[in-house]
């Protein structure tokens, strides 16, 4: 089952396409990292998936074929955005009451217990909480709905390192306990490497990478060798190259960890952060095989 699936999906704001001809599939049962440069259309894609926007073109379904934005979809998806959408003048208790009444399923006992563990006072106004507490409140409200899919759009951007760690610890504990799928858009690559097991990278007008993290790391490596060896570089599937006067560092795609190393070169494993940065620096790099393909806003247009 795919938790989000799109075909020819596009969203236009007046004359500007924020997302265009996007076709991809995000499988269930994973913590999926959605990464890419600013303007790649990640937020637009997530807003379409959770029903906060309607497509200009194409189709988006969720949870195995349910139309995005439909009652069945809304029951099964929880969304936490970067700006932590809370009613700041309301107390924490009022936020619980409001969320419970707006949703057909809400675990009040879980929410109260979770906020108690975090030391978040029920009588305090949401706007008076610290940034980390606001993030935890928004996450608690989302998780209390017991969603099948949790969508997080840059939730870590404004948090300090400790708050980021605590936020993601809560997410991962819920994933382990309930088997919830997660789609996480973030620029905090260190956090993604710690939690994500599936990666979708959008850049240069298409999905360049869409696969399980373990598979990606096993089919990429860093080769270090003489900078003068141009013939070897031409024979390799080079994603990104760094060269000094005497030595070259190549991040290359391979068919697996048993691929032979060219004579005179050394092979090193690649980290997820190195892999993501290499594809971001080389938006023309060949996409990996797989079901996911997208064409986003043209380079001359401004995407959201």
What are the structural domains, with CATH classification, of the chain? 2-211 (3.40.50.300), 213-285 (3.30.70)
The mean pLDDT of 112-120, rounded to a whole number, is: 94
Which band of pLDDT confidence, cut at 50, 70 and 90, is reported for residue 141?
Answer: very high
The mean pLDDT of 8-20, rounded to a whole number, is: 87
From CA 141, how far away is CA 114, in angstroms rounded?
10
Among residues of the chain, what percentage have pLDDT more than 90?
Answer: 57
From CA 304, how far away is CA 38, in angstroms rounded?
8
Mean pLDDT, rounded, of the chain: 87
From CA 37, how far away is CA 248, in angstroms rounded?
26
Task: State residue 289's pLDDT score.
Answer: 45
Residue 292: is its pLDDT beyond 60?
A: no
Dihedral angle computed from the Cα positions of residues 160, 162, 168 and 173, in that order, rounded to the nearest 10 degrees: -160
Residue 67: is its pLDDT beyond 90?
A: yes
CB-based contact 76:3 (threshold 8 Å) = no
Task: State residue 148's pLDDT score.
Answer: 96
Task: State residue 83's pLDDT score.
Answer: 77
Task: State residue 203's pLDDT score.
Answer: 66
Look at 138-147, 149-158, 162-171, 280-289 and tell me which has the smallest mean pLDDT.
280-289
Task: State residue 233's pLDDT score.
Answer: 79
Closest to 39 measured CA to CA, from 265, 283, 293, 287: 283
Residue 157: is its pLDDT beyond 60?
A: yes
Task: State residue 26's pLDDT score.
Answer: 93
Residue 20: is its pLDDT beyond 60?
A: yes
Look at 69-73, 258-262, 294-298 and tell me which has the smallest mean pLDDT.
294-298
From CA 26, how far away is CA 62, in angstroms rounded?
9
């Amino acid at each position: 089952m795919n938790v989000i699936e799109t075909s020819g999906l596009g969203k236009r704001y007046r004359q500007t396409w924020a997302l265009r001809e996007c076709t991809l599939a995000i499988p269930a049962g994973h913590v999926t990292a959605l990464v890419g440069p600013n303007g790649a259309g990640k937020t637009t894609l997530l807003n379409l998936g959770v029903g906060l926007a309607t497509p200009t073109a194409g189709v988006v379904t969720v949870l195995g074929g349910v139309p995005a934005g439909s009652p069945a979809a809304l029951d099964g998806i929880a969304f936490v955005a970067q700006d932590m959408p809370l009613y700041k003048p309301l107390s924490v208790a009022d936020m619980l009451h409001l969320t419970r009444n707006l949703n057909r399923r809400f675990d009040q006992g879980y929410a109260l217990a979770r906020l108690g563990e975090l030391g978040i006072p029920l009588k305090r106004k949401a706007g008076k909480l610290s940034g980390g507490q606001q993030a935890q409140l928004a996450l608690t409200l989302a998780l209390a709905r017991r969603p099948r899919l949790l969508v997080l759009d840059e939730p870590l951007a404004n948090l300090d390192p400790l708050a980021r760690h605590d936020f993601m610890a809560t997410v991962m504990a819920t994933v382990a306990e309930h088997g919830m799928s997660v789609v996480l858009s973030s620029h905090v690559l260190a956090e993604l490497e710690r939690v994500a097991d599936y990666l979708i990278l959008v850049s240069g007008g298409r999905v360049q990478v869409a696969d399980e993290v373990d598979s990606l790391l096993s089919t990429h490596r860093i080769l270090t060798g003489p900078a003068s060896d141009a013939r070897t570089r031409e024979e390799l599937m080079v994603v990104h190259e760094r060269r000094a006067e005497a030595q070259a560092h190549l991040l290359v795609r391979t068919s697996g960890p048993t691929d032979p190393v060219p004579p005179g070169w050394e092979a090193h494993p690649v980290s997820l952060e190195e892999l993501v940065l290499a594809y971001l620096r080389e938006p023309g790099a060949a996409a990996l095989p797989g079901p996911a393909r997208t064409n986003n806003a043209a380079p001359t247009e401004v995407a959201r």
